Amino acid sequence: MSSRKVEIMVGLFVVLTIAAGLLLALKVVNQGMSSNTDSYTLYAKFDNIGGLKARSAVKVGGVTVGRVDSISLDPDGYTPVVALKISQKYTKFPETSSVSILTSGLLGEQYVGFQPGFSIDGIADLAEGDYISDTKSALVLEDLIGQFLFSKND
Amino acid sequence: MQWLADIGHNTIDTVRSFGRAFLMLVGAIIAKPQLIKNTPLTIKQIYVVGVQSLLIIIVSGLFIGMVMALQGYTILVDYGAEGSLGPMVALSLLRELGPVVTALLFAGRAGSALTAEIGLMKATEQLSSLEMMAVDPLRRVVAPRLWAGIISMPMLALIFSAVGILGGHIVGVDWLGVDAGSYWSIMQSSVDWDKDIVNGIIKTFVFAFVITWIAIFKGYDSIPTSEGISKATTETVVFSSLAVLGLDFILTALMFGIE
Amino acid sequence: MENLLEIDNLTFSRSGRVLYDDISLRIVKGKTTAIMGPSGIGKTTMLRLIGGQLKPDSGDIRFKGESIQDMSRNRLFTVRRQMSMLFQSGALFTDMTVYDNIAFPLREHTKLSESVIKTIVLLKLQAVGLRGAAHLMPAELSGGMARRAALARAIALDPELIMYDEPFGGQDPISMGVLVKLIKALNDALQLTSIVVTHDVTEVLTIADYIYILAEKKVIGSGTPEQIKQSDSPLVQQFLNGEADGPVPFHYPADKLENAFLGVK
């Protein structure tokens, strides 16, 4: 076995690996919001987050603008606090914006729906670390059924 | 009393062989690596363990991707969720099948060859002869093979996953008519670089290290007869496959189990 | 006469079996010393002890006055460059050509340029008569040729001491004659000190300057070939004449055959 042939074949092996790596990096992996691209963090308190998980999407009218960074429990009021990482591309949401936890389709996963509020003079934009006060919790199917049954009885 | 003595005997033997395996590792890589001298040898071994395993890896990757797409499609189409075929194929390949199947194939193809080769070198006195020529066989024979295994297998696993995803594309998109755009875009929205790809690569490095270590140690520690080498080769495949599956569970629990 | 190698009161046992019990040998510089004995007494082990691959239980092995078992690993590796060993199987590296095999010790231990290495390798191959086989792989060589190639590799670095492990074992008469001639010629030409471990009596008597016969864990006879031939020790005579039974018993130790059949304990 001549060492030249060995070198060529090993070179080919390396090229193939790089090609595989590129395929994964460019075609397979989700881009933009995957890692620490420029982003800022907003917080929102919910009564109930349902099935929301870290890395769930944050969408404005169906467009993903960010991801759920972490979910923790506020030690004072025992309410869930969700940290949202929003891409730096989307700024200037007014403070009157609201967030709600929605489900994509009947069986789909849950995501955070973000409704930008009206921007009127005197209302500041949301900035790094701000809390969004207007939140709607996840719909819990059991609660809904319960409400439906009770309303029937009335 | 005999069974108690047997347990004790086996335990002592096992502990001793772990000790020998560790000493071999220390002698081969930790003590004074000879980079310049060993690089050409390592490249040659990458050829032997890596390039020569390429064909089986590509063929298996292709077929496994295709089978998964076929199986996944028949299940997903009942729920109208055939768009999720992409992430299903990609995630199972990147997280599990890529590392594990590559590791099992690598153990069978390259691990057994390494054991047999080193065992034969021992049986034909080539290792002793190196020693007598004042060349340390640990550095000359063991170290390049160890490095080659650790370098090659993650590369093979990466190729395996990529080929598998393409195989899934062939069956899912070209045959069964899943929309190509949704195959890729839904895949993109659910595969994460750090969580899925990097964790998969970490797994393959662990597997590569364990398989190559077992394979080389079994050869180096084999009884230099034809019977001893055949036993060592079998043990390499059995032990490294079991080690891979066990470690896979532990690593998966550590990486994905706790959210 | 100067001793290159001195072995004093060597005791060695392996897996609970005593191979050597308090034996002493002297290897004189520039001479060929043969170590003979029946199979299974660990003649190869003796060479491994000298090479420092094994450590004796007690006793001392000194190479040029320096104790081998007390050397650090680095020192041992340095000393081993002055010795060389021809293994029974030849132990050529099967993944390289004959040429590369012989160039191997030169490339490992010297900084010579490839052209100088080429000259040396071809000279060594010429000496063993295999210059035409330089490009062959070891698998393509016959047993005798492999051993000659291994011999060329063993002398590549011009060692002071060369150890032959059963150089004549399993050879046809022609190869055997070639090897005897080669060992003799190399010894005379290069002023080498040789240790030949073997049980081929007739060949050894022609090339050895001094002979040790080992049996029963001891040195049972030593001397020049003439002295050995005239030895009155029955053990030595049994060995030289190849008698089946004698002081070295034909039967492996066992209790009486009658007892084994009759079930008497």
A9 touches chain B (CB under 8 A): yes
- Beta-carbon separation of B162 and A6 below 8 A: no
Instruction: Give me the pLDDT at residue C10, please.
Output: 83
| CB contact residues (below 8 A), chain A span 80-139, against chain B | 107
Least confident residue range of B141-145, C37-41, C42-46: C37-41
Residue of C nearest to B127 (CA): C91
pLDDT tens digits, one per residue of C6-38: 888 888 887 777 888 888 888 888 888 888 877
Determine whether the interchain pair C108/B129 forms a contact, defined as Cβ–Cβ distance below 8 Å. Answer: no
Contact B241, B215 (CB under 8 A): no
pLDDT average, residue stretch A130-154: 79
User: Which among C91, C108, C109 is the nearest to B128, CB-wise?
Assistant: C91
Closest CA to C75 of C87, C63, C60, C57: C63
Question: Which spans in C66-172 are helix H?
Answer: 73-80, 98-109, 114-128, 143-154
Q: Is A53 within 8 Å of B259 (Cβ atoms)?
A: yes
Q: Which of B79, B159, B184 sits opposite A20 (nearest CB)?
A: B159
Q: What are phi and psi of B68, to 5 degrees?
A: -65, -40
Instruction: Work out the pLDDT band at A3, boundaries 50, 70, 90.
Output: confident
pLDDT classification of A37: cutoffs 50, 70, 90 = low
Torsion B50-B55-B60-B63 (CA) sign: positive
Contact residues for C36 (Cβ-Cβ < 8 A; gap 6+): C43, C197, C198, C199, C201, C204, C211, C212, C213, C214, C239
Going by C-beta distance under 8 Å and a sequence separation of 6 or more, which residues neighbour residue C119?
Answer: none
Nearest by CB: B259 against A23, A25, A53 = A53
Which residues, including other chains, have CB under 8 Å from residue B171's CB and lie 6 or more apart? B65, B66, B69, B70, B73
What SS3 string covers A18-77?
Answer: HHHHHHHHHHHCCCCCCCCCCEEEEEEECCCCCCCCCCCEEEECCEEEEEEEEEEECCCC
**pLDDT digits over B33-45, tens only?**
666 777 888 888 9
pLDDT digits (tens, 9 = 90+) for B135-186: 888 888 888 899 999 999 999 999 999 999 999 999 988 888 888 877 887 7
Partner-chain contact A10 B50, CB within 8 Å: yes
Spatial separation of the C-alpha atoms in residues C198 and C166, rounded to whole Å: 5
Q: What is the mean pLDDT of residues C221-250?
A: 76
- On whether any CB of chain A is under 8 Å from the CB of B110, the answer is no
pLDDT at B188: 80
Residue A89 has pLDDT above 70, yes or no: yes
Per-residue pLDDT band for A107 (boundaries 50, 70, 90) equals low
Tell me the average pLDDT of chain A: 80
Question: Which is nearest to B54 in space by CA: B193, B208, B204, B160?
Answer: B160
pLDDT value for B31: 62
Rounded distance, CA B43 to CA B40, Å? 5
Report CA torsion sign: C142, C143, C145, C146: positive
Residue C52: exposed, middle, or buried by beta-carbon count in 10 A (0-12, 13-18, 19+)? buried
Q: Is the whole model's pTM more than 0.80, yes or no?
A: no
User: In B, residues 51-90, which contact C (CB 8 Å cutoff)?
Assistant: none
How much is the mean pLDDT over chain B? 88
List the single residue in C53, C78, C94 with the smallest CB-CB distance to B128. Answer: C53
Alpha carbon separation from C231 to B106, C158, C227, C240, C244 (Å, rounded): 62, 36, 6, 10, 19
With beta carbons under 8 A apart, name residues in chain C contacting B136. Answer: 77
CA distances from B1 to B7, B8, B85, C193, C254 (A): 10, 11, 59, 56, 29
The predicted pLDDT at position A94 comes to 84
Q: What's the mean pLDDT in A105-117? A: 77
Residues B123 and C67 sit within 8 Å (Cβ to Cβ): no
State the best of B36, B124, B125, B133 to mutate against chain C, taking most chain C CBs within 10 Å.
Answer: B133
Q: Which chains neighbour B (Cβ–Cβ under 8 Å, 3 or more pairs)?
A: A, C
Using a CB-CB cut-off of 8 Å, the residues of chain C touching B125 are: 87-89, 91
Task: Show the CA angle centred on residue C206, arms to residues C204 and C210, nearest 5°.
Answer: 65
Mean pLDDT, residues C113-135: 86
Hey, what are C127's tokens?
């000496």
Q: Which chain A residues contact residue B44 at CB under 8 A?
A: 3, 6
Q: State which amino acid sits at residue C26.
A: R
Burial of B194 (0-12, 13-18, 19+ CB in 10 A): exposed
Q: How far off is chain B from A10, nearest CA to CA, in Å?
A: 6
Q: What is the pLDDT of residues C161-197, one digit of tens each?
A: 888 888 877 777 887 888 888 888 888 887 888 888 8
Which residue do the tokens 């594990």 mark? Answer: B100
Å between A36 CA and nearest CA of chain B: 11
pLDDT of residue B107: 93
CB contact under 8 A, B54 and A16: yes
Of B125, B134, B136, the CB nearest to C91: B125
Other C-beta atoms closer than 10 Å to the C-beta of C200 total 17
CA atoms within 13 A on the CB side of A131: 9
Q: Residue B14 above 70 pLDDT? A: yes
Q: What digits encode the pLDDT tens for the residues B225-238?
A: 889 999 999 999 99
Q: Using alpha carbons, list the distances in angstroms from residue A5 to A8, A10, A17.
A: 5, 9, 18
Average pLDDT over residues A38-57: 82
Q: Which helix (H) or strand (E) holds B52?
A: none
Cα(C51)–Cα(C59) distance, integer angstroms:
15
Residue with the larger pLDDT of the pair B37 and B246: B246
Q: What percent of chain B has pLDDT over 90?
A: 47
Q: Report, as an integer, the average pLDDT of A102-118.
A: 78
CB C156 within 8 A of CB C120: yes
Cβ(C147)–Cβ(C90) below 8 Å? yes
pLDDT in the model for residue A59: 85
Closest CB from C77, C83, C87 relative to B128 = C87
Most confident of A46-55, B108-117, C82-91, C231-240: B108-117
Percentage above 70 pLDDT, chain C: 97
Residue A23 C-alpha, separation from nearest chain B C-alpha, in angstroms: 7
Q: Which residue has the higher pLDDT, B214 or C127?
A: B214
Distance in Å, alpha carbon of A145 to nearest chain B alpha carbon: 24
Mean pLDDT estimate for chain C? 81
A34 has a pLDDT exceeding 80: no
For residue B222, pLDDT over 80 is answered with yes
Instruction: For strands C193-198 and C161-165, give the pairing.
Output: parallel
In chain B, residues with a C-beta closer than 8 Å to the C-beta of C77 are 134, 136
Q: Which of A60-74, B91-105, C222-236 has the lowest mean pLDDT?
A: C222-236
Q: How far is C212 from C229, CA to CA, in rounded Å?
A: 12
Q: What ipTM was reported for this prediction?
A: 0.77
Tens of pLDDT, residues C55-89: 888 888 888 878 888 888 788 888 888 888 888 77
Q: Closest residue of B to C78, CA-based?
A: B134
Which tokens is A121 given? Answer: 């003079």
Interface contact A28-B187, CB threshold 8 A: yes
Q: What is the pLDDT of residue B250?
A: 92
Name the 3-class secondary structure at A103: strand
Question: Taking Cα atoms as reference points, which of B191, B204, B160 lies closest to residue B65?
Answer: B160
